[in-house]
């Protein structure tokens, strides 16, 4: 009896609308970095989703000999391992891909090598996040044309407005509250800390909480406890009543201490 082999119709449906709601709900996010191989598991039954953060997916290279279909549009790409169906006198058998495959995804001008193991799991979402080199280039383009005073203003305003550029890297803030000499009746808590690669700068936002009325002076915060290379400090208010809070932005040359 002759056996006919054909790709399953479902296997060729590579549109976003083809993703079942259950698969979307069960997708597990995976983060990949550029220029280093990421070993991941992808669904060998459902459509897997790639997302390029802050840019577009320019290309996806993979072995054309393998049963794989890829589509891309803007910041998104979709990977489907094709299901092979064998029809033996009306008895249909499905074979799912299990052999690993390599993908080289071009995103934001960087290459993301993905070593993917097809598995019997729900559809997966892979987020391609920028690396340090990309952050440095973006920050250089953003801040390079500005003089130091303009850089300080731009960074300070972005922190005060809670609109941090994606190219700024969050780092862990200092734990717990602490006091500064000469600042009686108030404590500081570091709320946010960022590195600005490519600009040779770092910044922190502190919350100042007063237990009693206090008048603040920005010169009080030129203290080595907040960094040895401070070149700008900004307060959003100068007079605090008990239990009120002020915001302090500290900019430094170099990395976060």
For the segment 49-87, what is each residue's pLDDT rounded down to a tens digit?
999 987 899 999 999 888 899 999 999 999 999 988 776
* Nearby residues of 96 by Cβ (< 8 Å), 6 or more positions away: 44, 45, 81, 83, 118, 120
Domain stop point among 130, 154, 183: 130
Domain assignment of residue 226, given as a range: 133-253
- In this structure, the answer to whether residues 160 and 104 fall within a common structural domain is no
In angstroms, the CA 256 to CA 241 distance is 31
- In this structure, the answer to whether residues 69 and 168 fall within a common structural domain is no
The model carries a pTM of 0.56
Q: Find the range with the poorest average confidence among 23-37, 124-138, 220-234.
A: 23-37
Domain stop point among 130, 155, 184: 130
Neighbouring C-alpha atoms within 13 Å toward the C-beta of 200: 5
For the segment 125-178, what is each residue's pLDDT rounded down to a tens digit?
999 987 777 677 777 877 877 888 888 899 999 999 988 887 788 888 888 888
Quote the number of domains for the chain.
2
In angstroms, the CA 37 to CA 10 distance is 30
At 29 the pLDDT is: 67
- In this structure, the answer to whether residues 223 and 120 fall within a common structural domain is no
């Amino acid at each position: 009896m002759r056996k006919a082999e054909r790709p399953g119709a479902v296997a060729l449906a590579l549109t976003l609308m083809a993703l079942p709601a259950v698969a979307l709900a069960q997708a597990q996010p995976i983060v990949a970095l550029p220029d280093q191989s990421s070993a991941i598991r992808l669904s060998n039954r459902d459509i897997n989703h790639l997302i390029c953060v802050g840019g577009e997916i320019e290309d996806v290279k993979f072995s054309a000999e393998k049963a794989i279909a890829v589509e891309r549009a803007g910041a998104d790409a979709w990977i489907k391992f094709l299901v092979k169906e064998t029809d033996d006198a009306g008895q249909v058998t499905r074979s799912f891909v299990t052999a690993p495959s390599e993908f080289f995804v071009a995103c934001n001008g960087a290459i993301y090598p993905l070593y993917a193991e097809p598995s019997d799991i729900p559809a997966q979402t892979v987020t391609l996040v920028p690396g340090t080199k990309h952050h440095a280039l973006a920050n250089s383009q953003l801040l390079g044309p500005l003089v130091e005073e303009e850089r300080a203003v731009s960074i300070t305003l972005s922190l005060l407005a809670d609109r941090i550029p994606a190219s700024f890297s969050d780092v862990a803030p200092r734990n717990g509250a602490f006091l500064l000499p000469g600042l009686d009746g108030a404590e500081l808590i570091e709320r946010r800390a960022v590195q600005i690669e490519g600009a040779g700068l770092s910044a922190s936002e502190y919350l100042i909480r007063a237990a009693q009325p206090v008048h603040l002076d920005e010169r009080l915060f030129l203290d080595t406890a907040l960094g040895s290379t401070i070149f700008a400090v900004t307060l959003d208010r100068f007079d605090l009543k008990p239990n009120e809070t002020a915001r302090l932005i500290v900019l430094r040359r170099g990395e976060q201490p």
